[in-house]
Amino acid sequence: MPDYKGRYLFYFGGGGSGKSVDMYYRIVKRILTEHDGNHKILVLRKVATSISKSIWDGIIKIIKGFGLWSMFKVNKVERTLEYKVNGNVIFMMGLDNEEKIKSLEGVTSIYVEEVTEFSESEWLQLIIRLRGHSVYPKQLVAAFNPIDAEHWVAKYVEPQLKGEAHMPSNIFDLKYLDKNVWEFKQEVKYIDFYDIEQTEIITTRVINTTYKHNRFLDGGYIASLNLMSSLSSSHYDVYTLGRWGQIIDGNAFIHKYSEAKHVKSNVKVNDKLPLHYSVDFNVEPYMSGLVFQLEYIENGFWNGYENYYQLSVIDEMAMTHPRNDSRSLGEELGNRFDLSNGVFLYGDASGNHRNGTRDVKTLFMDLKEGLDAIPIERIPKSNPKYANIAKGSLGRANFINLLFSGLIPVRIKIHEDCKELRKDLKYCVQGSNGEMNKKKRDGHHLDAFTYFVCHPTTLGFLAKKR
């Protein structure tokens, strides 16, 4: 395929599909051939310690394969490779060294391995690094496995995924160059230095690959890949087909949750019922809030029950900087909903604690000021334990799995737009002691969900051991 000059290039697909190797070849080729570019090509992974195991070894192998290793000045400590002929440089580092990345000037292109490990805000920060004039095109190139169609990266690579009606209006000229390669353009308007409106057309190309595109794979790897895929439909989708699936790294914390059963597009507010608002006060990556309604249905029918509780998760708040504070968390609820039917307030018990002797307000005090309403507070003195919610009852994970199982009369409906909660339900994993492992995923929306459903006035009374 001819050299691509557009702004964005994404490789995504299955295991052993050659996407990373092709990306490394592209980097080396630009360093060798673009003599007037004064290139500083930045190559990233989320964590610096993984550089030597993947990118560093991969790029060096390609350079040695060209017989040009002696033509490079190598700094193993700083992870840099400088081509002596023209001064072009490759920098390799992890985003965990963010300050060092910010100090780099004149970055001409950025290549990102496993971009799904990054947050969208981190991705946007990388876009900002590509500024200034360059003889050759500035590019942002990324490779990844398609672990989740709801991941933020999906809309950047496959806007056609949910149909033409859902595509942003500024995307046009979507075309397939072949079965596995497509390209589209985006129209971006901006005001220049002279206060004149300008329009720029930005091109994105996407290459979707599978192991069948890599003719160098050995039979043993292909056999192992197919064995793994035969044991897991999700692994088959992601690693064999190279298409969107659902992969978690560890044992699922909420293994009874099902997107097909519990996620709906028509979860609406019942104007006759009050709202329930449950919050979690962590500020990174956002401050979390969930909006619920709870109704007891009599003489209905669901899952064999005539009488059951219907729990509707109507909306979520993911308040990012600069509005990741408790007051804004309260304001946002009032901005989105009519609170005239009343609102019950739940959340992290530590939000009622003062941080020091001089602190006058608590986080819940700030939230209520922003709310501009008088809620009925249902904030516990301590958060529900992982081992047991109350004496003689189930712990957090066991109870929430029971709720999602359908084995008790509770029907759960989650609005499809509650994407952060859905990610928590899919990807949060158990720690060694049965607690949530927050190193794997922050889980703040799942915490907010827990504070609500475990409260004795809502559904917590159903947590008695069976």
- Quote the pLDDT of residue 237: 65
- Quote the pLDDT of residue 277: 98
Map residue 190 onto helix, strand or coil.
Answer: strand
* Residue range 451-460: mean pLDDT, rounded: 95
Q: What is the dihedral of CA 189, 191, 197, 198, to 10 degrees?
A: -50
- Quote the pLDDT of residue 444: 93
* Residue range 128-147: mean pLDDT, rounded: 85
- Quote the pLDDT of residue 212: 75
Q: What is the DSSP string of 51-94?
A: TIIIIIHHHHHHHHHTT-GGGEEEETTTTEEEETTT--EEEEEE
Model confidence at 127, in pLDDT bands (50, 70, 90)? confident
Residue 232, pLDDT above cutoff 50: yes
Residue 90, pLDDT above cutoff 70: yes
- Quote the pLDDT of residue 346: 97
* Residue range 241-261: mean pLDDT, rounded: 76
* Residue range 304-318: mean pLDDT, rounded: 95
Residue 299, pLDDT above cutoff 90: yes
- Quote the pLDDT of residue 349: 92
Residue 97, pLDDT above cutoff 80: no
Q: What angle do CA 96, 102, 104 make, to 5 degrees?
A: 115
Say which range, 143-152, 161-170, 173-182, 351-360, has the weakest mean pLDDT. Answer: 351-360
Residue 128, pLDDT above cutoff 90: no
- Quote the pLDDT of residue 404: 94
Q: Which domains does the chain have, with CATH numbers?
A: 8-213 (3.40.50.300), 259-463 (3.30.420)
pTM, two decimals, is 0.61
Model confidence at 1, in pLDDT bands (50, 70, 90)? very low
Distances (CA, A) of 333 to 73, 254, 275, 277, 292: 57, 27, 10, 8, 12
**pLDDT over 90 for what percent of the chain?**
45
Residue 126, pLDDT above cutoff 90: no
- Quote the pLDDT of residue 194: 80
51-79 pLDDT tens trace? 766 788 899 999 999 999 999 999 988 89
* Residue range 299-307: mean pLDDT, rounded: 92
Say which range, 4-18, 97-111, 364-378, 389-403, has the weakest mean pLDDT. Answer: 97-111
**pLDDT over 70 for what percent of the chain?**
86
The position carrying tokens 């895929």 is: 229
* Residue range 276-282: mean pLDDT, rounded: 95
Distances (CA, A) of 430 to 69, 136, 150, 249, 259: 46, 47, 22, 10, 20
* Residue range 142-167: mean pLDDT, rounded: 82
Residue 231, pLDDT above cutoff 90: no
Which of 346, 418, 412, 344 is closest to 384 using CA atoms?
346
- Quote the pLDDT of residue 214: 66
**For residue 325, how many C-alpha atoms fall within 13 Å in the half-sphere facing its CB?**
9
Model confidence at 228, in pLDDT bands (50, 70, 90)? low
* Residue range 301-314: mean pLDDT, rounded: 94
- Quote the pLDDT of residue 336: 96
Contact present, 87 and 40 (Cβ < 8 Å): no
- Quote the pLDDT of residue 430: 82
Distances (CA, A) of 130 to 139, 173, 367: 8, 25, 38
236-248 pLDDT tens trace? 666 676 677 666 6
- Quote the pLDDT of residue 305: 92
Measured CA to CA, the distance from residue 27 to residue 44 in angstroms comes to 12
374-389 pLDDT tens trace? 999 999 988 888 888 8
* Residue range 319-337: mean pLDDT, rounded: 93
- Helix (H), strand (E) at residue 111: strand 109-113
- Quote the pLDDT of residue 135: 82
Measured CA to CA, the distance from residue 125 to residue 46 in angstroms comes to 13
184-218 pLDDT tens trace? 999 988 787 788 888 889 999 999 988 777 666 66
